[in-house]
Structure 1
Amino acid sequence: MGKSKKSKGSLKKKHSILYGIPHCHTENSTGTGDVKVALKYAKNKDLDFIIITDHNNALNNNKKRKDKNKWEDALKDIQKFNKKHDNFIGLLGFEFTLKPYGHLNIFASENFFSGDIGNIKNLLLWNSVNNPIMAINHPSKNIEKLDFNPLLNNNLSLIEVGNGLYPAKSYNRYEKRYYSLLDKGWKLGAINSQDNHKINFGDSDNLTAVLVEKKDKKNLLQSLRNRNTYSTESRTLKVHFYINGSLMGDVLSCKKNDTLKFSLYAEDREDKITKIKLISSKGVCIKEMDFPPQKDIKYFCSLPFKENEKWYVAKIFLQSGATALTSPIFLNEI
Structure 2
Amino acid sequence: MGKKKRRPNPLGLDFNNLNFFYGIPHCHTILSTGRGTPYEALEYGKRQGLNFMIITDHNGYLYDNILDKETVITKWRFLIRSIEKFNKKNEDFVAIPGFETRSEPFGDLNILNPKTYFTGIVNNINSLLLWLIADGSAIVSINHPHKSIEKLPISPYLNEYLKTIEVGNGSPPHKYSRHDKYYYNLLDKGFKLGAINSEDNHRINFGESENLTGLIANNLDTISIIDAFKKHRTYATESRTLKLYFTINSVFMGESIDRNSFDELNFYVYAEDSKRIINTIQIISNGGKVIHEICDINLKKIKYMYQLKLNKFNSWYIIKVFLDDKKEALSSPIFIK
Match of residue 89 from structure 2: 84
* Counterparts of 1:63 and 1:130, CA distance in 2: 24
Deviates more, 1:157-166 or 1:134-143: 157-166
* Cα contact 2:66–2:72 (8 A) shared by 1: no
* Cα contact 2:93–2:220 (8 A) shared by 1: no
Q: Which of the numbers 120, 123, 128 marks the counterpart of 1:115?
A: 120
Match of residue 29 from structure 1: 32
User: Are 2:334 and 1:322 aligned?
Assistant: no
Q: Which of the numbers 27, 33, 46 marks the counterpart of 1:43?
A: 46
* Counterparts of 1:239 and 1:54, CA distance in 2: 29
Cα offsets for 1:66-110 (capped at 9, x unmatched): 742111111011011101111000011000011110000001211
Give the aligned length. 323
Counterpart secondary structure, 1:68: strand
Match of residue 196 from structure 1: 201
- Mapping for residues 212-291 of structure 1, pairs under 5 Å: 212-255=217-260, 257-291=262-296
* Cα contact 1:256–1:307 (8 A) shared by 2: no
Structure 1 residue 254: deviation in Å? Answer: 3.0
Match of residue 140 from structure 1: 146
Cα offsets for 1:98-144 (capped at 9, x unmatched): 11100000012110000001111210110111131110000011001
* Counterparts of 1:235 and 1:296, CA distance in 2: 15
Letter in 1 for 2:44: Y
* Counterparts of 1:100 and 1:25, CA distance in 2: 23
* Counterparts of 1:251 and 1:25, CA distance in 2: 34
Letter in 2 for 1:41: Y
* Counterparts of 1:292 and 1:259, CA distance in 2: 25
* Counterparts of 1:36 and 1:217, CA distance in 2: 17
- Structure 1: gaps (5+ residues): none
* Cα contact 1:243–1:260 (8 A) shared by 2: yes
Cα offsets for 1:281-306 (capped at 9, x unmatched): 11110000112421111110111222
TM-score when normalising by structure 1: 0.93
Q: Which of the numbers 50, 54, 60 marks the counterpart of 2:63?
A: 60
Deviates more, 1:240-249 or 1:279-288: 240-249
Cα offsets for 1:224-270 (capped at 9, x unmatched): 11111000000011112111122221112231653211010111111
Counterpart secondary structure, 1:264: strand
Match of residue 149 from structure 1: 155
- Structure 2: gaps (5+ residues): 1-10
Cα offsets for 1:30-80 (capped at 9, x unmatched): 000101100100111110000000000000002425742111111011011
Counterpart secondary structure, 1:302: strand
Structure 1 residue 313: deviation in Å? Answer: 0.5
Match of residue 74 from structure 1: 79
* Counterparts of 1:325 and 1:262, CA distance in 2: 16
